[in-house]
Structure 1
Amino acid sequence: MPRSDPAPHRPAWYFPEYTPVGIDLGSTSAVAAYDRNQGTDPDADDALLDRLEVAEGSHLVDLACGTGSLAVQAARRGAVAHGVDVSEEMLASAQARSERFGVAPHWHHAGFLDYSHSGPLVDVVTTKSALHQLPDFWKQQALLKAAGMLRPGGTFYLWDVIFAFGPTSAEEHLQQWIDTEGRPEGEGFTRADFEAHVRDEFSTYSWIIEGMLQRAGFDIVSSTSPRPTHAEFRCRRR
């Protein structure tokens, strides 16, 4: 499985992207639990790929690809798919998934900040449930990197824990999210998982993300917040 070398020559002040925040995914069992808790669904992946007009011959990069479901589904429809992740355990799971389906996406051991795409500019870049692992300064750098690998007019898709509520009601909404979404161990992400997300990870407000996307060179085509704690952005590279 081809992989790039993880950040071999970064300065000492660079964000330690290979040191996980939040949920520890350093074991096979943890990766399997994460995949189960995320609710990986090939049909949902296909529906998203349809919306993003990914077809045979399209070039797609999925940043922080996790266990590779989206990249595998893209490859199954004939796209040239690349999956990028900092977790070797995730990539091993992604490789196993691709072998089960008889496809061969390109897997890269790399992160938002150090992935260097070779080859032609791509049609679509996606990232789901992962950008929150970077502080806001580094989110902006990651979005600039994503824009740099997209052809003009190409699509950038973002789904994440992004806060649509106002700052004055943050405590109320966050507590409600934790109280409502936490599940017993083995049945999904637990209350402690959500508490750790709020405490240790770097989710931010939708209005901050909007500004970052625009400054990275994207026009926002559509944005939705199906609930106060999550948002989706579909953007076009200028």
Structure 2
Amino acid sequence: MNSFPAWYFDESQMAGINFEDIAQVEAFDCKQTSSTPQKEQALVKRLGISLGHTVIDLGAGTGTFAIQAALEGAFVHAIDISQSMLAYAQQKARKMGASTIKFHRAGFLTYEHNDNLGDFVITKAALHILPDFWKMVALMRMASMLKPNGILYLRDAIFSFPISEHKTFIDEWIEHSSKPEGEGWTDKDYHMHVREEHSTFAWIIEGMLTRAGFEITQANYLTPTAAEYICIKIA
């Protein structure tokens, strides 16, 4: 195992949620309305993931995407910093018969890929745990895991609204997205996210992607507070 300098970012100190508490992991899985089996199956097909592909899923969480990719015949490396998340994902994978997933306890900054280079790297709703400096490090590491012309898919809370209007857009986001306790992400969850996590602006993440060696082929601003990117690793 690699050792890291004392100044290295500790991804295990995530804001807001104790992902080693299995009850919180189960609650997290229920709240993930953007990550249902049907939606993840549609994304797998949209990206063209199929038999024989190698997929690296960073921040795999409770494994819904990894399972759907495996059911299409891909070999999947599912990586997450939380052992409880991984255990929960493994249990789901066994129930679904998704046998071509290898689970790794690691993060964006610590995962060492020692297998075939990936055809796809996927990261959804996870990169925001890192400050921008460390996002750039993580994106460079992702590029190193991909084959030339391999695909990176990134989706996260990414801000495309005018900076001068940030208060209005953040308030509207929280007002329209938050749910009552027990039904999804609450206003307190969103407050914590904005206050303590590290979502960034689209123009910043797009500059990082380019500098990390990617060509952005699709940039979709899903809302003023969410975006997705499909990128090709430049050979």
Q: TM-score range by the shorter chain?
A: over 0.9
Matching residue of 1:217:
213
Matching residue of 1:30:
24
* Distance in 2 between residues matched to 1:18 and 1:198, nearest whole Å: 19
SS state of the match for residue 56, structure 1?
coil
Matching residue of 1:101:
96
Deviations 1:142-199 (A, max 9, x none): 0001000000100000000000111101111001111111111100000000000000
Matching residue of 1:198:
194
Matching residue of 1:143:
139
Structure 2: segments with no counterpart, 5+ residues: none
Matching residue of 1:82:
77
1:67 counterpart = 2:62: yes
Matching residue of 2:87:
92
Matching residue of 2:182:
186
* Distance in 2 between residues matched to 1:237 and 1:11, nearest whole Å: 29
Picking from 151, 154, 160, the partner of 1:164 is 160
Contact 1:72 1:98 in 2 (8 A): yes
SS state of the match for residue 125, structure 1?
strand
1:50 counterpart = 2:45: yes
Contact 1:23 1:193 in 2 (8 A): no
Deviations 1:74-108 (A, max 9, x none): 11111111100000110011100111012220000
* Distance in 1 between residues matched to 2:98 and 2:216, nearest whole Å: 32
Picking from 12, 17, 23, the partner of 1:18 is 12
87-96 vs 174-183, greater mean Cα deviation: 174-183
Amino acid at match of 2:8: Y
* Distance in 1 between residues matched to 2:46 and 2:16, nearest whole Å: 30
* Distance in 2 between residues matched to 1:118 and 1:139, nearest whole Å: 21
Runs of 4+ in 1 over 4 A off after TM superposition: none
- 1:23 Cα shift? 2.8
- 1:65 Cα shift? 0.1
* Distance in 2 between residues matched to 1:134 and 1:22, nearest whole Å: 14
* TM superposition score normalised by structure 2: 0.96
**Once the two structures are aligned, what percentage of the paired residues are identical?**
45
- Size of the aligned set, in residue pairs, is 232
Structure 1: segments with no counterpart, 5+ residues: none
Matching residue of 1:118:
114
* Distance in 2 between residues matched to 1:170 and 1:212, nearest whole Å: 21
* Distance in 1 between residues matched to 2:47 and 2:55, nearest whole Å: 10
Deviations 1:197-235 (A, max 9, x none): 000000000000000000000000001112100000000
Deviations 1:39-88 (A, max 9, x none): 23111111111111100001100000000111111111111111000001
SS state of the match for residue 78, structure 2?
strand
* Distance in 2 between residues matched to 1:226 and 1:210, nearest whole Å: 15
- Note the 1:127-142 alignment, pairs <5 A: 127-142=123-138
Amino acid at match of 1:152: P
